[in-house]
Amino acid sequence: MTALRVLAVASEIYPLIKTGGLADVVGALPAALAPEDVLVRTIVPGYPSVMAALSSGETVMSIGDAFGAPARLVVGTVAGMDVIALDAPHLFDRPGNPYSGPDGKDWPDNWRRFAALSRAAADVALGALSGYRPDVVHCHDWQAGLTFAYMHFSAGPRPGAVMTIHNLAFQGQFSPALFHMLGLPDEAFAANGIEYYGAIGYLKAGLYYADRITTVSPGYAAEIRTPEEGMGLDGLLRARSGVMSGILNGIDADAWNPKTDPHLAANYTKKTVADRALNKTALQARLGLDQDPTTPLLGVVTRLTWQKGIDLLLANIPTVIAEGAQLAVLGTGEPGMEDGFRAAMGFHPGRIGAVIGYDEGLAHQVLAGSDAVLVPSRFEPCGLTQLYGLRYGTIPVVARVGGLSDTVVDANPAALGRGVATGVQFAPVTYEMMRVAIERTAALYRQPDVWKKMQANGMVSDVSWSDPARRYAALFRELLPA
């Protein structure tokens, strides 16, 4: 097998720049794919944190006019990854996160920032860097979507094109008035092109011109082809069903390993899972919860948003209390939800503990110290916290949607009878069914043998990148010329 060269195009890459799961995937794939003989180079915007990491990088290309001013491509190795940065200070040298300024508002020129990224990526894909020609270009989410449109309208042979959807809710739609500034031929602005209900759709463009489409779980791949979950793109996705598949995300199995996790009060393995009790005590102490080893402690680590079903959890706080359980919450998000947990702490001291904030170390402690982890998402492309739960012996209690339904085996009588259950699922995603799920979880907790078996099942399931990486590699190889 010859090594296969992949050019990845993304707006985030861990550990350089991260707002969500996208960055984790883009940052994990290079190392995960190396054993499959796939060499990944990743082109990203030159945000301040990226340029700082590439301070000793090498300039490999100058761009006279990158949507308004000159720019350059800088290459370097960061955290073992081969990174190309689009250094365009007029576009990316800004405070705030990758998409919005300190006031939280999207940058008004995002259309231009990510068109510039895509234009540069297409040029590299087509051989602009001497000595480098990728076999496959792998685009992530809408920010990379125009890459395949630029490739399509360029002459000469072009590499294979794989588009991965991390979250269909973000589509990159812009005014049609901007079309003439994108540098695409008029024919591109069509239903069979980048036009999307009269506007410009960056994700739509990527999906239309890609040779293969993937998303981050088989369940989500099926859901987004329905009118209910397709967010306006289901028609196109149904038309492209033949080239579409779902590949689950893995987790960083080094960072999330209960045996070595430096954040824990006590490390443990499947054999020493009883030592989790020390983490429970420590978590109860940190969050001001009653020191009670026998109460079921339910953990939550999440963005506090409607997507994540957090309103349903707030409504179910009386259920938690009625079941004699405790709740440990770590999250930030919608102010009303943050206030909801602050109020719940006041009403139920010792039973509800919440930290409103983003805290990587505490996230590990919540996973290791809770008996179960709740993930009541209304939709969930893949989800990571339930995977951490499996690895940490923390029973995932999840909505039966997307990647959650693919990764957790519900403790129904059949699964319990065969000894294969790993968690609790509920559907539909309503207050009522979540209440039932919490009640079921508490009942399972009171059956220690059943609980221990579920913990053990989860702890041996493979949630690493090995299997997903094999699937991506196989998909990339399908696109090599025969």
Binding segment for ligand ADP (CB under 6 A), chosen from 41-49, 92-100, 300-308, 309-317, is 300-308
- Write out the two tokens for 124: 């590299």
In 207-306, at which residue ranges do the beta strands (DSSP E only) sit? 212-215, 244-246, 297-304
Which of positions 25-54 make contact with ligand ADP (CB under 6 A)?
none
Q: Of these, 118, 171, 302, 441, which contacts ligand ADP (CB under 6 A)?
A: 302
Binding segment for ligand ADP (CB under 6 A), chosen from 93-101, 120-128, 235-243, 378-386, is 378-386
- Write out the two tokens for 426: 């509920």
**Least gap, CB of 20 to ligand ADP (angstroms):** 4
384 binds ligand ADP (CB under 6 A): yes
**Least gap, CB of 61 to ligand ADP (angstroms):** 32
Q: Of these, 72, 90, 238, 303, which contacts ligand ADP (CB under 6 A)?
A: 303
Cβ neighbours of residue 322 under 8 Å, at least 6 residues apart?
A: none
332 binds ligand ADP (CB under 6 A): yes
**Least gap, CB of 84 to ligand ADP (angstroms):** 24
Which pairing describes strands 71-78 and 58-63: parallel, antiparallel, or unpaired?
antiparallel
Nearest 5°: CA angle at 421, between 415 and 427?
Answer: 85
Binding segment for ligand ADP (CB under 6 A), chosen from 181-189, 193-201, 204-212, 381-389, is 381-389
How many CB atoms sit inside 10 A of residue 76's CB? 17
361 binds ligand ADP (CB under 6 A): no
C-beta closer to ligand ADP: residue 124 or 372:
372
Rounded to an integer, what distance in angstroms lies between the CA atom of residue 341 and that of residue 330?
10
Rounded to an integer, what distance in angstroms lies between the CA atom of residue 326 and that of residue 444?
15
Asked if 359 contacts 387 with a C-beta cutoff of 8 angstroms, the reply is: no
C-beta closer to ligand ADP: residue 303 or 348:
303
Q: How many residues bind ligand ADP (CB under 6 A)?
A: 16
147 binds ligand ADP (CB under 6 A): no
Asked if 189 contacts 176 with a C-beta cutoff of 8 angstroms, the reply is: yes
How many CB atoms sit inside 10 A of residue 170's CB? 17
Rounded to an integer, what distance in angstroms lies between the CA atom of residue 416 and that of residue 411?
6
Q: Of these, 58, 103, 106, 360, which contacts ligand ADP (CB under 6 A)?
A: 360
Q: Of these, 172, 376, 383, 423, which contacts ligand ADP (CB under 6 A)?
A: 383
Rounded to an integer, what distance in angstroms lies between the CA atom of residue 479 and that of residue 482?
8
306 binds ligand ADP (CB under 6 A): no
363 binds ligand ADP (CB under 6 A): yes
248 binds ligand ADP (CB under 6 A): no
DSSP 346-360: HHSTTTEEEEES--H
Q: By the criterion CB under 6 A, which residues form the site for ligand ADP?
A: 20-21, 301-303, 330-332, 358-360, 363, 382-385
